[in-house]
Structure 1
Amino acid sequence: MKPVIFSKIIIPLRFIKFKRKWAFLMDSLKKMVLIRSLVLMLVCTAVGNLCLGKTPAISMKIDRLEDTMLQEVAEGDFRIMVAGEPLDRLTGAEFTALREQELKLQNQKQKDAESERKLNALLIAMARIADEPTLIYLHELFESYPERRNDVAEAISWYAAENQRRDADWRILVRSLNVVEGDQAKAVMRALVRFRRRSNKAQWIRQVILIGLEQDPEGQQIAARLLTHWTGQQLHNEGESANRIMQQWQEWFAAKYPEELPAVLPVEPADSRWKYQDLLAELQQQKKSTLDLKLGAQAYEKATCIKCHRFGKKGEEIGPDLTYVSRRFQQKEVLLSTLFPSHFVSEEYPTYTIVTADGKTFTGMMGAAGPDEIMLLTPEGKKQMIKKQEVEEIVPVKKSAMPDGLLNLLTKAEVIQLIRYLGTLPEGASDKYRHKLP
């Protein structure tokens, strides 16, 4: 083989040919990678940037309305569009059609995440241009269907932000603080800051602190602004960490309201058989499965709920009546209060400690038993009769009379079916509560 000589450097011709082929191959490979990347980028864009973790923009035809769409014109910006232009006010015919569309989505037997997003988006779009009938409809949804309260509250927060701020809407938003989470909680708290009306009730101040404790730094800042708006207290300095801000509000609440339940998140006992988040995830998953009323009824007795609570025609009437609990609370609220009974104690069913003249103490919920006696329901579900003349002192306590750990008696399937069982209207419930969507 003949060598090529350049300035005393000898390079074989075979190596030069190989190098040229290698350069050609690498250039072709780069072009292939570039083309593939472009194709992949176009595909990702076409499906709404799913590969980047983004959900596709919502676009849905509204039945019975010509050339009318529900569209997400920007991320999180939902509008009713007519012939490509945003609708600025609802008429009677449009409201009827949108309500029927909402009912159609709601009544789907198999609702997926996309359907849930469309439901939420439709309520927001309706609220932004709501007239009086639309607002009445949203309030009816909130009152009658607890499971819809998160979405309704978010929709009303949009109305309050872009339109007038009404007292009736303020009350809805405040009540929603018990259930809203994440971005929906942020939207509700932002809206409440816009209202001149403020709450001085410890219950709601505590709830805002609890929401803030579960929020990201942005949400904690919003919670702090609402707390300052309501209380007039400026507890934090600029640049202070969000976690420290919420800690300061906890300390302030404990000093301001020493008789109230502390503003702390519930802690699962070490011996707890079940974790709230695990059960909640299972409950949400099981909503699409068949309800086992028989297993739920058996769990109601097995967990000793029947000793204190009335449900339809079953159980005692010492504690809160649970017959209509599904019309007052979301299933996740029922689960939370069952796992952590002292996290929220109803003003209607306070717990007391009674000290007798001979030094004995009894704790539980009080009930009338006659002119000369007090009946105390103990955490064990027993009725303790105490003579009034023997009572030395009655002291309110922060702990619920309902004992901890009742769900430890159940299997996971029994827990889920118990909560779903309580989410129904039992035999003996009034027919006026057996409503359909308005």
Structure 2
Amino acid sequence: MNITVIGTGYVGLVAGACFSEVGNNVYCVDVDEKKINSLKKGIIHIYEEHLEKIVLKNYNNKQLIFTVDLEEGLFNSEICFIAVGTPMAEDGCADLSAVFQVAKNIGELMDNDLIVVIKSTVPVGTGDKIKEIIQKELYKRKVDYKFEIVSNPEFLKEGTAVKDSMRPDRVIIGCEDEKTINIIKILYAPYVKNRDRFIVMDVRSAEMSKYVSNAMLATRISFMNEIANICENIGADINKVRLGVGSDTRIGYRFLYAGCGYGGSCFPKDVTALIKTGEHAGYIPNILKSVQETNKKQKKVIVNKVKERFGNDLSGLTFGIWGLSFKPGTNDMREAPSSIIINGLIDMGAKIKAYDPKAREIAENIFQNNENIEFFNDKYETLSRCDSLILVTEWNEFRSPDFDNISEKLKNNIIFDGRNQFDKEELNKIDFEYYQIGTK
């Protein structure tokens, strides 16, 4: 098929690359000329495992084309995906300005019948507005091209986005036109050939499904973090509680880990947008508001533990940070707990040494000109002459570190673990002062 993907962020670039990987001809369009030129040179602006390989392969095979010219991208296109960003506006609602501009441009430039697929995360009712915008432009042009609107929300997890694209848990199609549904099914058939994973519904329900999925996962995380804080106050161990709770097959173990809060581009933004959706409809979503508030507080838990141990004045102290991205497998630092922790410690007078296997460049841009933070390319060198180690992101390379090496580098054998990665009893045996979340 001939496909156009508008937007080359996490969603658009991964989708375009994966569609080309199974034989489709894909145009990836973006208004950012600098980004497009970088992609043409093989420079990938985001880190995702396997992404660079399939982008370079299919670009060289001319099945994946990057351009700033939407008219070129739409020429003879059968399906056009809208995958531009919908960031949080000042009022907490999703900012749909880019989505609506793209819809207008499609109406101005489409030169044949077209299926318009909304991949961006958008509030309920956005599909109807996009349809109105495109139709208005076609009326202006006095042309009678036919088009259908499809909601096809993405469920990619940053860090495993390529895998999630090629082997999705499910493919949700929001559409009521049978012919269009069948075409989208054919497009996705290579990814779901082992079993039927298609779920077909109306557009509004598909739009809602994405928000509810993210809000449910965010709720599990905040719930367990709240339980962890209770455990800490009453002398229980959240790590053991998780095993007891997760063994219930109705609950399961996923997203039951206590930690220093969730971040990223999706959960914070989508929970807030869903709250606003409820409020605009005349309903106050109290549970979601609590999820949001609990997460904000949780990002400060490590700072509070450091304060309890070292006092309010951290002048003259240096802390080694392991992990900057909001989760392992990505270089994304949007809404990352590391930023809250680092700024909190610096505000109390501390110096920071930091290491992340993928997010250093982004972190340097975030903290540019801040003399209180230094970045390293080696996790052990990061700890040299530090007063303690703070683990923030659970990258695999941090799971079984050399504790003798850590002890040699640190001034004090003190570890604050924001992801409960290590065995407390074992660390105590080798004379480490070890602080977890959800246990004394």
Greater helix content: 1
Normalised to the residue count of structure 1, the TM-score between the two structures is: 0.26
Larger Rg: 1
Structure number with the bigger relative contact order (C-alpha 8 A, sep ≥ 6) is 2
Tell me the TM-score normalised to structure 2 length: 0.26
